[in-house]
Amino acid sequence: MAVLADYRNLPPSARGFSVALGNFDGVHPGHRAVIDAARIDTAPLGIATFEPPPRAYFRPNDPPFRLYRPARRNARLMELGAKTVFELPFNGQMASMTDEEFCRHVLHEGLGVAHVAVGFDYRFGRGRMGDADRLSSLGRSFGFDVTIVEKVEGPDEIKASSTAIREALISGDPQRAAEMLGHDWIADGHVESGEKRGRTIGYPTANLRLGTLIHPRQGVYAVRVRIAGSGDWLDGVANFGRTPTTGLRDPLLETFVFDFDRDIYGQYIEVALVHYLRAEAHFGSLDEMVEQMHLDTAEARRLLSAAR
């Protein structure tokens, strides 16, 4: 799969795709329905999305909101059959384009699309001036077909959306987020060297900064962990937060992997949130904190074993 960071001056081999156009953060069932609608017999399947997302451009001071890092999103899109991902650069020039200019310069002249699929609520162009029907009309003018995908419902007849998944994670409901995603939500990154206090109390942790990934509700989770180069998911317990007992600092995901004794500093790992156990708490002493960690570990083992 190719990942292309522009729509201009593309080689002939990167033009003429049937393109699924949208956000694709999380690649949830609504996104997958749009991708399926872009599958046609006469053109290869491509994905067109914006990088950075428009929200990050217009609201740079918002809290982190990404469900996937770009590399994870692109790998998931490849699994679904995409031949090329076009990461359209969202900048001042892109933000100022009208809906007609976007269709002309990006989709028609740039990508040379043969067909476009979008969700029913898709908006585009300066100030979100264009909608899916407008795209269909403009597509006829520029010689490409447009398929509009109707609402895809998630659990309890709620629209499958990245927003609903984010709300579930922020509220401490990773199981509901997993129902909408189709899998447990995963935080990923490279393990950082921390204060190494956990080693002194029998709980060494692999520490991740989430960066631009959404910050789930702070607290303790039963998790599964996969380390780069291994296909195995290992059980564990993690705390996301500021550790009020031992000293406040920027939120960090600290994961204790059960029955594991390897130095993995600097390695890439994935941490899947499975169950929310409890909120972060301040303990009166280190002994009280360790006793609670014993209880958390036992509960995480029980829940993860029951979920197999």
Q: Report the length, in residues, of the chain.
A: 308
Per-residue pLDDT of the chain (308 residues; tens, 9 = 90+): 699 999 999 999 999 999 999 999 999 999 999 999 999 999 999 999 999 999 999 999 999 999 999 999 999 999 999 999 999 999 999 999 999 999 999 999 999 999 999 999 999 999 999 999 999 999 999 999 999 999 888 777 677 799 999 999 999 999 999 999 999 999 999 999 766 666 667 789 999 999 999 999 999 999 999 998 788 999 999 999 987 656 656 899 999 999 998 889 999 999 999 999 999 988 888 889 999 999 999 999 999 998 77
Q: How far is C-alpha 16 from the geometric centre of its chain's CA atoms?
A: 28
Strands (E), 69-121: 84-89, 115-119
CA-based nearest residue to 213, from 232, 185, 176: 185
DSSP conformational letter for 171:
T
User: Same fold for the domain at 2-152 and the one at 183-306?
Assistant: no
The ranges assigned to domains in the chain are 2-152, 183-306
Q: Which fold has domain 2-152?
A: Rossmann fold (3.40.50)
**Which secondary-structure segment (H or E) carries 62?**
none
Torsion of CA 203, 209, 213, 218, to 10 degrees: 50
CATH H-level, domain 183-306: superfamily: Riboflavin kinase-like (2.40.30.30)
CA separation for the pair 222, 220 (Å, rounded): 7
Strand 115-119 and strand 18-21: pairing?
A: parallel
Question: Are the C-beta atoms of 292 and 281 separated by less than 8 Å?
Answer: yes
Greatest Cα pair distance in the chain:
71
Sign of the dihedral through C-alpha 105, 86, 180, 67: negative
